[in-house]
Structure 1
Amino acid sequence: MAAARPEGVLFDVDGTLVDTTYLHTVAWWEALRRCGHPVPMALIHRSIGMGSDRLLDHLLGPERDRTEDDRVRDVHDSLFLGYAERLTPLPHAADLLRACAERGLRVVLATSAAEQEVRALRAALDADDVVDTVTSSADARRSKPAPDILVAALEQSGLAAGRVVFVGDSVWDVAAAGRLGIPCIGLTCGGTGRAELAGAGAVEVYDDPGALLANLTDSSVLHRRHDDIDADLNMKA
């Protein structure tokens, strides 16, 4: 297996670095309920990681009446931002970013969250001093599983797809990275299981940022696998 040292690490933020997956689930559940669309939370949870356009298509069908889409999104955004002061980083998230930067890697937050949400997420992380580039929803025309936000992150940071890895928590993250040939490390802290992340193509799976940090020296963060990114799946806790 060929290996080369990456030059940067792209990180998803929601559910990967900050504990927001279930907050988004509840906010979407309530927004949909208020607009007359009762959807079970389990279905919503499995859609988290998509952009709002794809999420609503996935949950309500592409042939639906779209006249209330903006209202649903606005209610979700308002409810989610109500949690802004209580957002909590996942274990050792900031430490992981700092460890990557200390090893000479450029740290990129490749998020498709709206600007106001991005500000809240960055405040929760409190690691701006080691972050090189941050994206937002304004930087992508299509949301995940389309790779647009990763393309924007690469363009803004000046990094090449062949010299980075991506860290995410959903199958949509893995799919987006795969479309660019970028190895994706999966974290289960967003609520998606190891087998599902592995089955989607994650090259390694860890419990959370702290577990990846503990195994950083041997991980694809420092030794990107080029030739076969689906081989030798590392199932470390």
Structure 2
Amino acid sequence: MTEFPHAPTPAFLFDLDGTLIDSVYQHVIAWRQALSGMGIDLSVWRIHRRIGMSGGLFVSALLRETGLKLTREQIERLQVAHMEAYEQQAGSVRPLPGAPELLAELTSRGVPWAIATSGYARTARLALDLLGLPEDTPMVTRDLVRRAKPDPDLFLAGAALVEVDPAHAMVVGDSVWDLLAARRAGALGIGLLSGGYGRDELERTGAFRVYADPADMLERLDELGVRLDD
């Protein structure tokens, strides 16, 4: 009988905020507080639609909508103010349903995975304890790449970190920016509804599967090539 090569083991690259931890609205409030501190008043919904982009690109996009201009130094101050405001709220952040269990299940089955987030290490690493993860968890943060989402750099770096071809990886994210970056990295995109984007938006941006949250994804891992009965 002819033997055919096995398909490569799937690998997963996870966004963090809104994907593994329930922190999107803490980030929204932190950005609003930081912007207000500089005399910029923006509606919460405008801020939410940009969550998931890199901080610098996020600010540029919002300022373009308002017609305001800031110097590079002011933008850097704004990003620091956001991080400080977020840290004040970090105690209210919780893992999303099923997130620790999903990561534990993948680990127990030898499925490679990494976290790739537009957040800086200063705030992103606060999530490790929440998720019950060790300090050496494979994680790529904004500090480590030239450009963040919707550029593909974070996911390309995450794939390299776990030594997989991006074409054999699946990006799990809650925003259109995650899925745009996934497409540009050559990876499949999986959307989660836990960050506030709708199913139609995620599917239009390239999600080939959409789940409610990590718990829903864990229940349906067989759809993604992870056989729970192997």
TM-score (normalised: structure 1): 0.87
Structure-to-structure mapping, 1:81-120, within 5 angstroms: 81-120=87-126
Q: Which is worse superposed, 174-183 or 105-114?
A: 105-114
Post-superposition CA distance 1:31-61 (Å, at most 9, x none)? 1111011111101000000011110111002
CA positional deviation for 1:114: 1.3
Quote the residue 1:230 is aligned against. Answer: none
Quote the residue 1:59 is aligned against. Answer: 62
Quote the Cα distance in structure 2 between the aligned partners of 1:77 and 1:205. 30
Structure-to-structure mapping, 1:24-43, within 5 angstroms: 24-43=27-46
**Structure 2: gaps spanning 5 or more residues:** 1-5
Change (3 A) 1:10 1:189: same
Say which one has the larger Rg: 2
Structure-to-structure mapping, 1:1-237, within 5 angstroms: 4-61=7-64, 64-66=69-71, 67-128=73-134, 133-218=138-223, 220=224, 222=226
Q: Which is worse superposed, 82-91 or 10-19?
A: 82-91
Retained in 2: the 8 A contact 1:5–1:222?
A: no
Q: What is the count of residue pairs matched by the alignment?
A: 219
Post-superposition CA distance 1:213-233 (Å, at most 9, x none)? 111112x2539xxxxxxxxxx
Quote the Cα distance in structure 1 between the aligned partners of 2:14 and 2:112. 11
CA positional deviation for 1:7: 3.5
User: Could you say what the CA RMSD is over the residues aligned between the two structures, in angstroms?
Assistant: 1.9
Retained in 2: the 8 A contact 1:107–1:132?
A: no
TM-score (normalised: structure 2): 0.89
Q: Which is worse superposed, 169-178 or 85-94?
A: 85-94
Secondary structure class of the residue paired with 1:14: coil
Quote the residue 1:233 is aligned against. Answer: none
Post-superposition CA distance 1:52-88 (Å, at most 9, x none)? 1110111002982224112211111001011223320
Residue identity opposite 1:222 in structure 2? V
Residue identity opposite 1:56 in structure 2? V
Residue identity opposite 1:136 in structure 2? T
Quote the Cα distance in structure 1 between the aligned partners of 2:113 and 2:137. 5
Residue identity opposite 1:181 in structure 2? G
Q: Which is worse superposed, 114-123 or 57-66?
A: 57-66
**Structure 1: gaps spanning 5 or more residues:** 224-237
